[in-house]
């Protein structure tokens, strides 16, 4: 069971053009900022939004091929969808919600309910089979929605912000359960989220979508260690610049260059954490560091540290201890020197 898709959907002022593949058993997270096209991509896979171009193939079978004038209706795609707000039928019990899909596919009432009971048991809700959705907690409703999506034995599983409706505590617990269920699913799974933690905990691979395009893909470790866009850099809390490298010197702008530890040639990204930026009242002398004058913009709490947004030759975020902030008198408008060790700046080809 393999997913192979190129999704092209044109809207006024927005075009989704994303290639998406997923191997059997693989969980792919579509991660991106608001309006990136994640939901549009999911709806296109489910057949709820038509493709203007491209194709969707599952197991080598074409579900949609606009060039050939072919589109399989949503109900004939072997796809299970868990929507953001779960969309459970309010008047049906948990059991009948789960039995609904098999019933629609012609399974007898008794067999559908039997299958639903097995699935509810699998999501640890056997004791709640008779409850209506309003009598379930958010986490329980999420599990019923998952059981309902699995009830039709889908080849492809789609999840739209599966944990967004849950409070923080339920979320942690439900995420762990969901991870287990996803790994038991033999087909590919595509999940949409704008929560990096959900993406990293649930998915084998991240596909970062920005403005309708795939800007980066890879496992969590490779994406977070080498972000390729500002969005990804902010997501993982790194400063990120693009520049031109000649050896260990990377020219970022006409009047700003950074020295890095590893020599490179050509177009590169340079990334470093805010905690690697040290601030001084006077220019630090005589060390193999990058130093530049900067002006304090905003000061905000960030964990145990203070996150200082600085302007100057480049915008940069620095984390300092509250004690250092007091000592340096860090307030908006204060002029300081920023400093970064070459060994803290990693560079990699753009």
Ligand X SMILES: Nc1ncnc2c1ncn2[C@@H]1O[C@H](COP(=O)(O)OP(=O)(O)OP(=O)(O)O)[C@@H](O)[C@H]1O
From CA 172, how far away is CA 155, in angstroms rounded?
27
Helix (H) or strand (E) holding 233: helix 230-235
Helix (H) or strand (E) holding 277: strand 277-280
Using the contact rule CB under 6 A, the part of the chain among 35-43, 130-138, 276-284, 330-338 near ligand X is 35-43
Using the contact rule CB under 6 A, the part of the chain among 37-45, 113-121, 243-251, 326-334 near ligand X is 37-45
Window 150 to 209, contacts with ligand X (CB under 6 A): 194
Question: Residue 9 or residue 325: which is nearer to ligand X going by CB?
Answer: 9
- Residue 43, token pair as written in the block: 């709806």
Window 14 to 33, contacts with ligand X (CB under 6 A): 14, 32
Helices (H), 47-186: 94-104, 109-122, 138-150, 168-184
- Shortest Å, Cβ 71 to ligand X: 17
Sign of CA dihedral 72, 75, 79, 85: positive
Question: Residue 35 or residue 247: which is nearer to ligand X going by CB?
Answer: 35
Question: Residue 33 or residue 312: which is nearer to ligand X going by CB?
Answer: 33
Question: Residue 14 or residue 280: which is nearer to ligand X going by CB?
Answer: 14
Select from 86, 64, 84, 70 the least CA-distant residue to 3.
64
Question: Residue 46 or residue 151: which is nearer to ligand X going by CB?
Answer: 46
Among 36, 145, 163, 310, binds ligand X (CB under 6 A): 36
Using the contact rule CB under 6 A, the part of the chain among 34-42, 92-100, 239-247, 289-297 near ligand X is 34-42
Half-sphere exposure of 120 (CA within 13 A, CB side): 23
Q: How many residues bind ligand X (CB under 6 A)?
A: 11
Select from 297, 349, 305 the least CA-distant residue to 325.
305
Considering the rule CB under 6 A, would residue 37 count as an interface residue with ligand X? yes
Question: Residue 209 or residue 296: which is nearer to ligand X going by CB?
Answer: 209
Among 10, 11, 61, 109, binds ligand X (CB under 6 A): 11
Question: Residue 40 or residue 290: which is nearer to ligand X going by CB?
Answer: 40
Question: Residue 52 or residue 344: which is nearer to ligand X going by CB?
Answer: 52
- Shortest Å, Cβ 33 to ligand X: 7
Site string for ligand X, 38-77 (x = CB under 6 A): xxx-------------------------------------
- Shortest Å, Cβ 349 to ligand X: 28
From CA 339, how far away is CA 88, in angstroms rounded?
55
- Shortest Å, Cβ 81 to ligand X: 14
- Shortest Å, Cβ 35 to ligand X: 4
For residue 13, the SS3 value is coil
Give the distance, in angstroms, between the CA of residue 306 and the centroid of all CA atoms in the same chain: 26
- Shortest Å, Cβ 20 to ligand X: 13
From CA 136, how far away is CA 139, in angstroms rounded?
8
Residues 6 or more apart whose Cβ sits within 8 Å of residue 243: 250, 251, 252, 253, 257, 258, 267, 268, 269, 270
- Shortest Å, Cβ 164 to ligand X: 9
Exposed / middle / buried, residue 70 (Cβ in 10 Å: 0-12, 13-18, 19+): exposed
CA angle, corner 39, sides to 23 and 76, nearest 5?
60
Question: Residue 32 or residue 227: which is nearer to ligand X going by CB?
Answer: 32
Considering the rule CB under 6 A, would residue 280 count as an interface residue with ligand X? no
What does the binding site for ligand X look like in residue numbers (CB under 6 A)? 11, 14, 32, 34-40, 194
């Amino acid at each position: 069971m393999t997913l192979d898709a190129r999704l092209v959907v044109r809207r006024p002022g927005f075009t989704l053009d994303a290639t998406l593949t997923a191997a059997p058993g693989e969980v792919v997270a579509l991660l991106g900022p608001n309006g990136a096209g994640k939901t549009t991509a999911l709806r296109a896979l489910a057949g709820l939004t038509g493709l203007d171009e491209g194709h969707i193939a599952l197991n080598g079978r074409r579900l949609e091929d606009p060039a050939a004038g072919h589109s399989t209706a949503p109900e004939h795609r072997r796809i299970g969808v868990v929507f953001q707000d779960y969309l459970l039928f309010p008047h049906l019990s948990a059991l009948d919600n789960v039995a609904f899909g098999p019933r629609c596919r012609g399974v007898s009432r008794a067999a559908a309910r039997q299958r639903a009971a097995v699935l509810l048991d699998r999501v640890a809700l056997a004791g709640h089979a008779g409850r209506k959705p309003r009598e379930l907690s958010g986490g329980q409703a999420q599990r019923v929605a998952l059981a309902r999506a699995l009830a039709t034995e889908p080849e492809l599983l789609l999840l739209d912000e599966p944990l967004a409706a849950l409070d923080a505590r339920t979320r942690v617990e439900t995420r762990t359960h969901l991870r287990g269920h996803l790994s038991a699913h033999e087909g590919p799974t595509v999940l949409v989220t704008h929560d990096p933690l959900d993406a990293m905990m649930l998915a084998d691979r991240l596909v970062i979508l920005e403005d309708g395009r795939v800007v980066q893909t890879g496992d969590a470790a490779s994406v977070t260690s080498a972000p390729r866009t500002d969005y990804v850099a902010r997501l993982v809390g790194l400063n990120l610049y693009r520049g031109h490298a000649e050896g260990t010197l990377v020219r970022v702008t006409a009047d700003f260059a950074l020295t890095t530890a590893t020599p490179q040639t050509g177009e590169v990204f340079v990334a470093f954490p805010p905690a690697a930026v040290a601030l001084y009242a006077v220019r630090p002398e005589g060390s193999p560091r990058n130093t530049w004058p900067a002006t304090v913009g905003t000061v905000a709490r960030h964990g145990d540290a203070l996150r200082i947004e600085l302007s100057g030759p480049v915008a940069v975020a620095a984390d300092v201890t509250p004690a250092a902030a007091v000592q340096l008198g860090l307030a908006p408008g204060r002029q300081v020197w920023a400093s970064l060790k070459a060994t803290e700046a990693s560079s990699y080809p753009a």
